[in-house]
Amino acid sequence: MDGYLRRPGHGWIANGDADLADGGELWRMTAQEHKLIEAPITESIIGAFYTVHRTLGFGFLESIYSAAMEKELARRGHRVAREVLASVYYQGELIGHQLLDLLVDDRVVVENKASKLLTPSAEPQLYSYLRGTDLEVGLILHFGLEPKFYRVVHSRRNKHVRRS
């Protein structure tokens, strides 16, 4: 992965191109110039994703892929929680919860998708999970006909502080 493309309202989306946006300004950056947040964890998750897809192939329910990912990531030494309830706050008050498919090492959200085509709502969904938590990095793992992954980043420097 060489960089990101910012899609308005949806955070940093991995793209393979190296355009970055910050406050509306775009610039070019290579992977060597930009250290990926949580790189060792996300690289391991992506490796596990390809192992699971190669083993199971296409056609199972998301819950099957989640169970396989949980086992494969645990085998690789990660702490994995499935179907994690993440609290959402509005102006410092708890207003609800979101259900995360996987939380790896308490650092990376994983959203599994098991459809032939990835819907456009997948990226905003994961981005909302990041915005609603203190986590910065998430991966969409698309267990489609061909395996594809997308990295989404929500920078903490723009996050509003929650009041307790």
pLDDT at 134: 83
Tens digits of residue pLDDT in 70-118:
999 999 999 999 999 988 888 889 999 999 999 999 999 999 999 999 9
Tens digits of residue pLDDT in 55-79:
999 999 999 999 999 999 999 999 9
Tens digits of residue pLDDT in 2-31:
333 433 333 444 433 333 333 333 333 444
Give the SS3 label for residue 56.
helix
Confirm whether 71 is domain-assigned: yes
pLDDT at 11: 41
Average pLDDT of span 41-67: 97
Helix (H) or strand (E) holding 123: helix 122-131
Average pLDDT of span 128-143: 92
DSSP state of 149: E
What's the CA angle centered on 141, arms 116 and 14, to 5 degrees?
110
Confirm whether 4 is domain-assigned: no
Confirm whether 135 is domain-assigned: yes
Domain CATH number, residue 119: 3.40.1350
Containing structural domain, residue 66: 37-158
pLDDT at 131: 87
Confirm whether 67 is domain-assigned: yes
Confirm whether 93 is domain-assigned: yes
pLDDT at 34: 52
Per DSSP, helices labelled H in 98-140 are 122-131
Number of structural domains found in the chain: 1
* 66 vs 64: CA distance, rounded Å: 5
| Inter-residue contact 115 to 144 (CB < 8 Å) | yes
Confirm whether 90 is domain-assigned: yes
Q: What is the DSSP string of 69-96?
A: HHHHHHHTT--EEEEEEEEEEETTEEEE
pLDDT at 20: 34
Which of 49-58, 106-115, 129-138 shows the lowest per-residue confidence on average (mean pLDDT)?
129-138
Instruction: Give the sign of the dihedral formed by CA 34, CA 37, CA 38, CA 42.
Output: negative
137-143 and 108-113 strand pairing: parallel
Q: What mean pLDDT, rounded, does the chain reach?
A: 79
pLDDT at 157: 54
Confirm whether 163 is domain-assigned: no
User: Does residue 33 have a pLDDT over 50?
Assistant: no
Q: Which two tokens stand for residue 35?
A: 């250290």
